[in-house]
Amino acid sequence: MAESIVTSITNGLTHFIPAEIIIFIVSLLPVLELRGGLIAASLLKVNWIYAFPICIVGNLLPIPIILLFIDKIFAALKNTRLKKIVEHFEKRAAAKSNAVTKHRRWGLFLFVAIPLPGTGAWTGALIAAMLRMKVKEAFLPIIWGVFAAGLIMSFVSYVIPYFWF
């Protein structure tokens, strides 16, 4: 799924926007995050040495904002027409929070590190905020989780295609 979304985003944009900016923006987006950024980088033939740090920074940039302000943002949005969307995100995060609730830092690290649909830094930060984890407690496992997911996705996006195709 992520590959088809990334392909549709990147097709045609490379004529107007440098590939590095595209992969940075893709890495910023929820759902796609670093996983989508590295797939886009591979499809756009961006050297891994440049793509990896760009995707890491892009994925981590919104995380402190989520950790610090998501409660206030959600509270404000619940008084608007977006109430149902906010409640959807809260339910989704609550449903995925078991490992994080049980193992705190290690659970958060693993949740972010394993690149599966519905996991990642955005959801991990949302879960951490909902569990009232302190920023100091949550941010480091998220950083290491993003780095680990980046290594896994680098293997999937760069190493496997190199030997396979």
> Which residue ranges make up each domain of the chain?
2-59+149-164, 63-148
* Whole-number Å distance between alpha carbons of 66 and 61: 10
Contacts of 105 (CB under 8 A, 6+ apart): 137, 138, 140, 141
What is the percent of the chain with per-residue pLDDT over 70, rounded to a whole number? 90
- Whether 7 shows a pLDDT value over 90: the answer reads no
Contact 27/59 with Cβ under 8 angstroms?
A: yes
pLDDT at 102: 81
- The per-residue pLDDT for 8 is 67
Q: How far is CA 103 from the centre of its chain?
A: 21
pTM recorded for the entire structure:
0.85
**pLDDT tens track for 15-59:** 689 999 999 999 999 989 999 999 999 999 999 999 999 999 999
Q: What mean pLDDT is reported for the chain?
A: 90
By the 8 A CB rule, do 31 and 3 touch? no
DSSP 84-102: HHHHHHHHHHHHT-HHHHH
pLDDT value, residue 160: 86
Confidence of residue 101 (pLDDT cuts 50, 70, 90): confident
Residue 10's pLDDT band (cuts 50, 70, 90): low
Q: How confident is the model at residue 104 (pLDDT cuts 50, 70, 90)?
A: confident
Is-contact 108 127, C-beta < 8 A?
yes
